[in-house]
Amino acid sequence: MYIVETEFLFGLRKGDRWHNQVMKILELFKMGRIEMLQSCASAFLEVATVLQADGVPAEHIEETLFLMKHKLAEFNVKEVELSSDDIIRLYELLRKYNVTYFDAMQVAVALGRNAVLVTNDKTFRMLGIKAVSFKELIKG
C-alpha cells in the first residue's frame, strides 16, 4: 500500500512544481499499474495548517481541501483514517527523533499500516520508513 503525504496534495494544484508527476501517478493508479494508493486525513490537516499560517482565509482553505479531496476521489483514491494509535506513535517518533510534528504524523500513519510513503522529502527515509519518490513510483 502507498500513502501520499502533503507534498502530493499540494501537487494536485496546476501551478505546483510536482503537478505533472502527481497527475502521472494518479493516471497510473487509475490504469491499475500502481496498487493501493491512499491518502490520509493527516495530510489534509497539514495542508490546512500551512495555508492558515500563510494567512489564507478559511473559505479558501475549505475550498482548497474540498477540491483536493474531490480530485483524489475522481481517481478512486481512498482515505485512511487517523487513529489514536497513530497519535501515540506520533509522540513516540517526536520523542526519538528531531522531526516536525507533521513529518512525525505522516510517518506514524504509514508505519501503522505498513505502507510505503509517497514523498520527495528525504527526511522520511532518515526515519527508517519505507518511502518512494514521485519519480521512482512513476518508473515502477
CA angle 82, 84, 89 (to 5 degrees): 90
Residues of the chain with pLDDT under 50: none
Can you give the CATH number for the domain in which 69 is found? Answer: 3.40.50.1010
Q: Count the domains in the chain.
A: 1
Strands 131-132 and 37-40: unpaired
Integer Cα distance of 20 and 17 in angstroms: 8
The set of residues, in sequence order, having a beta carbon less than 8 Å from that of 109 and lying 6+ positions away, is: 3, 40, 42, 80, 82, 86, 115
What pLDDT shows up at residue 131? 95
Which value, to the nearest 10 degrees, does the dihedral of the CA atoms of residues 117, 45, 11, 124 take?
Answer: -30
User: Which of 85, 126, 131 lies closest to 108 in space, CA to CA?
Assistant: 85
What pLDDT shows up at residue 93? 94
Which range of residues forms the domain containing residue 80? 2-139
| pTM for this entry | 0.92
Query: 118 forms bridges with which residues in the sheet?
Result: 4, 132
